[in-house]
Structure 1
Amino acid sequence: MQPAYDRFSPADFLTDDDFVNHQLAPTTQSTAFWEQWLQLNLQRHGEWKQAVDLLEAIRLGLNEYAQTHLSEDAIHHLLLRIKQTNAQQSLAKKTVRKSAWMPWVAAASVLLVIGLGVWQPWQTNRLEPTYERQIAVLKQTPTEKVNQQDKPQSFRLSDGSTVWLSPGSKFSYAAEFNQHTRSVYLLGEATFTVTKNANIPFLVYANGLVTKVIGTKFVVRAFADEPDVRVNVQSGQVSVYRDQPATKTLNRKGVLLHPNQQVVFSRLTEQFIKSLADSPQVLPAIQPQITRFTYDDAPLTKVFQDIEQAYGITIRYNQEALANCQLNASLVAEPFEGKLAVICKTFGATYEIIDGQVIINGGRCQ
């Protein structure tokens, strides 16, 4: 009999074997089940996601945060499950490698000598920019814009979008831009302010990464000699994924970014690292209300709500433990992390930033 997941709390999910098994070692069947369940139970997505975050916190060793929702015994049990799963997966990988490797031991000793000579060029090739190769296959000669000045230069596209191109950077687009597609190819760094058009998404191709938007403002940094590609969102939201052949698009995996979030894509490991922007800014629509950061016996829950709305950044904390806390302070002059530092110092808490979210650990009312 299937458990009553529609009434589960985050802690309940973490005591359910099927949920934990899916998070640690998902299968095609389990993925299909949970995707369908989430579609049918949108109102429970918050509890489900919090359970996912708690399990990830335990995996990362953030037990102080996990203890705000789970008992020590529950955390210990989940840690054992994580270690067992990791050990099983590691053993399975070693077995596969060994069975595939053994028949080729003799050949490997010869190839090793050759490989030492070609390893460095191979590494270099992985960092070669895709820019020239991509524009070379366009049907018509593309339009190219190059910034040879020592300051950013702006270019306006036919769809009304604006590109602020950094020094030493260039981008190209096809002659049929804004007809059926809005694709640009970047080498270097640029800030894009994209005119909204739901029928024709705006695509930026840069060193193996694709940034897809409908209408927003974001920055892409993808220089030829840098091992990482960075995408920083200032407003709206964008999806970022690897530039793959058309045959692999059904299995495309990427990252969804909201304002004040960024992602770093390693061209060597092809891994995504999602985080907050280096200096989160108050969203443009919130600027007139910035005086809300002055508080006189204000509930701490209200303070967190104001910060979340102002910056578009999720803050997770133990609502039960901090429910009766009140703040007397002015945070107007403080940057985003300065606001968090004042709050944490006042209530004896700490904070961490994980996957583009703020996690408040501990704390108590004075």
Structure 2
Amino acid sequence: MNRHDFDRLLQKYLAGDCNEEEARQVEMWSDNVLSNSKIRLDEAEKSRMKRRYWKRISSEVLGKEPLWRRLFFFPQGIAASVLVAGLLAFGIFSYYGQHPKEKMGDRGASGELTTNTQEGIITFQTEGKPQSLTLGDGTLITLGKGSSIRYPAKFDDHLREVYLEGEAFFKVKRDEKKPFLVYSGGLITRVLGTSFNVKSSVKSGKVEVEVVSGSVSVYENNKKQSLQDAVILTPNQKITFEPAKRVMHTELVEEPVFINPPERLSDFIFEDSPITEVVTRLSRHFEVKIQYDSSAFAGCVFNGDLNGLPLHNQLNLICRSINGNVELLGNEYFLRGEGCGDNGK
């Protein structure tokens, strides 16, 4: 295909008149422009770059004049394919320039992740659906719908600090020399390397931090509070902060998950098992505290299959078999009741 034919193909592509095979040829060509660049781009960056500069290309090429005039009567006879390649190349180098003051993308379609870089600060914002991004230190962040996060283009030598609005799940790359701090809704969440979820609500003003693995330190973002005043959260725990009242509530997440999964299904099938053994096993696998009156339930046993059930349901089944009940207070479960009576061994 000669240059003239390819320019006509670009004309059809921009006008939306290409068939599937013709569109594939143009898209392969634009991919090659990015692939042959000396600047290293990951797939997400390539995708954002292409969306941004095809939008600019359409604006520059089409404008308000008839399509055929814009494509074939450029000043100095510049061909469409040359313009496209030039704009794509310009986009790559301006993105990675030494002075990132340019706005790095307009608000995109629903669900698009948009990026802005200004004065060395990078901002990511989601719209219609959650989106993931990986920071330079290897930390993975999944932003919730309608959320945004800001962080420096380069972390300093001592701290990694990010600023969140909305909700995000963090899987932080461990670095004991550079703690990772999340600022959100009046709280600071500090970790070395772990996974957790932060959610701040503009409507209610509340902030929630839930830990999935490892541990985090959470404290209020003011001059009177510091790391020494932090609340330590471990897996399956969460904290709810109400800025107006300056109150923190520590409790279990709604549905605790296995922290130490059982190796076999048979580990959660019990036959005439002492209640002490059943409760100890649940506590170990979920890493939660379960308190009970050992004297009231002495000699009680449990028979049943607890596989596939949420923790709260498991405890309810156990209590039903020993004439007891379960209550959640803060981050601990309490089993109470009269005991199993004649239903024991």
The reply to whether residue 361 of structure 1 matches residue 317 of structure 2 is: no
**Higher Rg of the two aligned structures:** 2
Where relative contact order (Cα < 8 A, 6+ residues apart) is larger, the structure is 1
Q: In the TM superposition, what is the alpha-carbon distance from 1:145 to its structure 2 partner?
A: 1.0
The reply to whether residue 277 of structure 1 matches residue 217 of structure 2 is: no
In structure 2, the partner of 1:98 is none
Output the amino acid matched with 1:273: H
Q: In the TM superposition, what is the alpha-carbon distance from 1:323 to its structure 2 partner?
A: 3.2
The reply to whether residue 144 of structure 1 matches residue 96 of structure 2 is: no
The reply to whether residue 257 of structure 1 matches residue 236 of structure 2 is: no
User: Is the Cα contact below 8 Å between 1:344 and 1:363 reproduced in 2?
Assistant: no
Inter-partner Cα distance in structure 1 for 2:186 and 2:225: 14
1:168-207 equivalences under 5 Å are 168-177=146-155, 179-207=157-185
Q: Which runs of 5+ in 2 are unaligned?
A: 1-117
Q: In the TM superposition, what is the alpha-carbon distance from 1:223 to its structure 2 partner?
A: 3.2
User: Is the Cα contact below 8 Å between 2:217 and 2:227 reproduced in 1?
Assistant: no
Q: In the TM superposition, what is the alpha-carbon distance from 1:140 to its structure 2 partner?
A: 4.9
Q: 2:287 aligns with which of 312, 321, 332?
A: 312
Q: Cα deviations across residues 145-203 of structure 1 (Å, max 9, x unaligned)?
A: 1112x221111011211000011000011233263211110000000011122222111
Q: In the TM superposition, what is the alpha-carbon distance from 1:289 to its structure 2 partner?
A: 4.0
Output the amino acid matched with 1:230: E
Instruction: Classify 1:289/1:209 alpha carbon distance in 2 versus 1 (closer, same or farther; 3 Å).
Output: farther
The reply to whether residue 330 of structure 1 matches residue 305 of structure 2 is: yes
Instruction: Classify 1:151/1:251 alpha carbon distance in 2 versus 1 (closer, same or farther; 3 Å).
Output: closer
Q: Secondary structure, in 3 states, of the residue corresponding to 1:211?
A: strand
Instruction: Classify 1:278/1:300 alpha carbon distance in 2 versus 1 (closer, same or farther; 3 Å).
Output: same
1:216-255 equivalences under 5 Å are 216-245=194-223, 248-249=224-225, 253-255=229-231
Alignment length, in residue pairs? Answer: 224
User: Is the Cα contact below 8 Å between 2:185 and 2:205 reproduced in 1?
Assistant: no
Q: Cα deviations across residues 248-306 of structure 1 (Å, max 9, x unaligned)?
A: 345853322111111110021010111110111112x4153454111011111111111
RMSD of Structure 2 on Structure 1 (CA): 1.9
User: Is the Cα contact below 8 Å between 1:217 and 1:235 reproduced in 2?
Assistant: yes
Output the amino acid matched with 1:277: V
Inter-partner Cα distance in structure 2 for 1:281 and 1:181: 31
Q: 2:268 aligns with which of 265, 268, 293?
A: 293
Inter-partner Cα distance in structure 2 for 1:309 and 1:298: 16
User: Is the Cα contact below 8 Å between 2:219 and 2:227 reproduced in 1?
Assistant: no
User: Is the Cα contact below 8 Å between 1:242 and 1:252 reproduced in 2?
Assistant: no
Q: Secondary structure, in 3 states, of the residue corresponding to 1:225?
A: coil
In structure 1, the partner of 2:44 is none
Instruction: Classify 1:219/1:287 alpha carbon distance in 2 versus 1 (closer, same or farther; 3 Å).
Output: farther
User: Is the Cα contact below 8 Å between 1:140 and 1:175 reproduced in 2?
Assistant: no
In structure 2, the partner of 1:101 is none
Q: In the TM superposition, what is the alpha-carbon distance from 1:225 to its structure 2 partner?
A: 2.7
Relative to the length of structure 1, the TM-score reads: 0.58
Inter-partner Cα distance in structure 2 for 1:290 and 1:185: 42
Instruction: Classify 1:217/1:295 alpha carbon distance in 2 versus 1 (closer, same or farther; 3 Å).
Output: same
Q: Cα deviations across residues 101-132 of structure 1 (Å, max 9, x unaligned)?
A: xxxxxxxxxxxxxxxxxxxxxxxxxxxxxxxx
Aligned residues with identical type, % of pairs: 33
Q: 1:165 aligns with which of 143, 151, 161?
A: 143
Output the amino acid matched with 2:134: R
Q: Cα deviations across residues 17-36 of structure 1 (Å, max 9, x unaligned)?
A: xxxxxxxxxxxxxxxxxxxx
Instruction: Classify 1:261/1:363 alpha carbon distance in 2 versus 1 (closer, same or farther; 3 Å).
Output: farther
The reply to whether residue 339 of structure 1 matches residue 314 of structure 2 is: yes
More helix by share: 1
Q: Which runs of 5+ in 1 are unaligned?
A: 1-138
User: Is the Cα contact below 8 Å between 2:219 and 2:226 reproduced in 1?
Assistant: no
Q: Secondary structure, in 3 states, of the residue corresponding to 1:233?
A: strand
Q: Secondary structure, in 3 states, of the residue corresponding to 2:218?
A: strand
